[in-house]
Amino acid sequence: MSKKIDFNKSIQELTVDNLKARIQEDELRLKKLTFAHVITPLENPMSIRALRKDIARLKTELKKKELAK
20 contacts 61 by C-beta, under 8 angstroms: no
pLDDT at 19: 96
Residue pair 33/61 in contact (Cβ under 8 Å)? The answer is: no
0.85 exceeded by the pTM?
Answer: yes
> How high is the pLDDT of residue 40?
95
pLDDT score recorded for residue 8: 86
Cβ-based burial of 58 (10 A; exposed 0-12, middle 13-18, buried ≥19): buried
pLDDT digits (tens, 9 = 90+) for 20-40: 999 999 999 999 999 999 999
pLDDT band, residue 3 (cuts 50/70/90)? confident
